[in-house]
Amino acid sequence: MGSKRQSIQSFFAENGVSAERLLYGRVPHADRRGFLKGAGLAGLSVLLGSAIPFQRSLPLGLIPVALADAEVMAGKDGLSVLNDRPVNAETPPHLLDDEVTPTARHFIRNNGIPPENMDAAGWELTVDGLVKNPLKLSIDQLKSDFEVVTQNLVIECGGNGRAFFEPPARGNQWTLGAVACSAWTGVRLADVLRAASPKGGVIYTAHEGADSHLSGDPGKFPISRGVPIAKAMNSSNLIAFEQNGGPIHPMNGAPLRLVVPGWPGSCSQKWLTRIWLRDRVHDGAKMTGTSYRVPKHPVAPGTRVPEEDFEIIQAMPVKSLITFPSTGTKTELETITVRGHAWAGDRLVNRVEVSRDFGATWQEARCDDPVNPYAWQRFEATLGLPEKGYYEIWARATDDASISQPFAIDWNPKGYLNNSYHRISVTRV
């Protein structure tokens, strides 16, 4: 399935004209601006099963999202499992419509084998390293010694959207659903670090969890990441012991996990057992080499980048997801109301726009403030569908530094940070 989708994509990338000849059986032609005309368009309409009212804006070589999705999501419901050892599963966008993502719909990204014992009663968190006052804390002590808070916080995997990279990037082929915004209850990471009294010279945290390496080697961690101390001290980071008012799901890190919103999900250690403070950038598993790193400067797709030219990913980029309606929707109405969420790493989303005509024109959506810092922001807009036929609705968010989502993927070798527009198909029948 995936390989078929990729082959269509690479075909388009290599040669839009011959790709369309293959798809539509004829040589299409484009006007001066590169928009699809004539026979190609007729073939495309047959394939989509309807006319395309905004055909004048449809660029030659653009793969209609309705065709791409049919292959990727066929026969799936609930979470789509990408991998079972380790377990990796994502959530289709239309199941992420809730303001607070239900526990059952929170994606799962495991790098190793989850611990067998997730018993809250005997759990112990160690805080040590470069601190004057090392701590060993039970979950009950965390609850009694520190202020307990609940926050809606976005966790997004750094590799969300990797499946759309061309040339492809190795790793889990996440499409759109390695993101969630659950309500997390816990204590502030900053409060706990302060209680341990960091020494001068601390620059980075290091996180450890109780899961084991796929090789079975007890001396190896599947993942152990950290963040600069300034990010760690942000008051939105939690050491969490509840998800959505109930226990944390076993696959989401029960009974204790970090939630470090706005940065790649990998910073949010699950099954948390230890945080230690260091006087250098942490060099644990998945901190080095090309893991969670991107080239320091933009590179052309397919470029071989030497390892020393990579840098650690910090905040995730601005992004939006259309969660209603689901792609492929058919309607008899002349208008359609769409909604979704937008988020922007360490920033706020200032504006969300939607387009019904392949990005030729954009309409501003209503965009709510987040309920708390690092929660995603609801947007909603009603668009006209002037005639019967095939439409795509595209969404584009802009953050408070005026940075918008790009149309094209900012390619990098490991397939991180894909924040290109989310596109859904809608047909007026």
Ligand X SMILES: Nc1nc2c(c(=O)[nH]1)N[C@H]1C(S)=C(S)[C@@H](COP(=O)(O)O)O[C@H]1N2
User: Where on the chain is the footprint of Mo ion (CB under 5 A)?
Assistant: 109, 157, 265-266
User: CB under 8 Å to 200, separation ≥6 — which residues?
Assistant: none
Region from 186-194, 262-270, 298-306, 377-385 binding ligand X, contact rule CB under 6 A? 262-270
Could you say whether residue 64 binds ligand X (CB under 6 A)? no
Give the H/E segment covering residue 392. Answer: strand 389-399
Could you say whether residue 154 binds ligand X (CB under 6 A)? no
Nearer to Mo ion, 265 or 325 (CB): 265
Among 152, 237, 269, 320, binds ligand X (CB under 6 A): 269
Nearer to Mo ion, 157 or 395 (CB): 157
Could you say whether residue 123 binds ligand X (CB under 6 A)? no
Residue nearest to Mo ion (CB): 157
Nearer to Mo ion, 223 or 275 (CB): 223
Nearer to ligand X, 38 or 78 (CB): 78
Minimum CB–partner distance for residue 103 and ligand X (Å):
10
String marking each residue 221-260 x if it binds ligand X according to CB under 6 A: -xx----------------------------xx-------
Question: What tokens appear for 315 in the block?
Answer: 């905040």
Alpha-carbon gap, residue 425 to 196, rounded angstroms: 52
Question: What tokens appear for 28 in the block?
Answer: 């299409």
Give how far Cα 417 sits from Cα of 175, 292, 375, Å. Answer: 12, 9, 19
Residue nearest to ligand X (CB): 265
Question: What tokens appear for 271 in the block?
Answer: 């099954």
Degrees, nearest 5: CA angle 20-26-29? 70
| # of chain residues touching ligand X (CB under 6 A) | 21
Alpha-carbon gap, residue 115 to 286, rounded angstroms: 19
Could you say whether residue 80 binds ligand X (CB under 6 A)? no
Question: What tokens appear for 221 in the block?
Answer: 């961690």
Minimum CB–partner distance for residue 244 and ligand X (Å):
12
Give how far Cα 350 sits from Cα of 51, 269, 315, 320, 380, Å. Answer: 35, 30, 17, 12, 14
Could you say whether residue 418 binds ligand X (CB under 6 A)? no
Nearer to ligand X, 9 or 185 (CB): 185
Could you say whether residue 189 binds ligand X (CB under 6 A)? no
Alpha-carbon gap, residue 6 to 212, rounded angstroms: 33
The string of DSSP codes covering 33-76 is T-BEEHHHHHHHHHHHTS--TTGGG-BTTPPPHHHHHHHHSTT-
Q: Which residue has the tokens 């968010």?
A: 397
Query: Which residues contact ligand X by CB under 6 A?
Result: 106-112, 155, 157, 209, 211, 222-223, 252-253, 265-266, 268-271
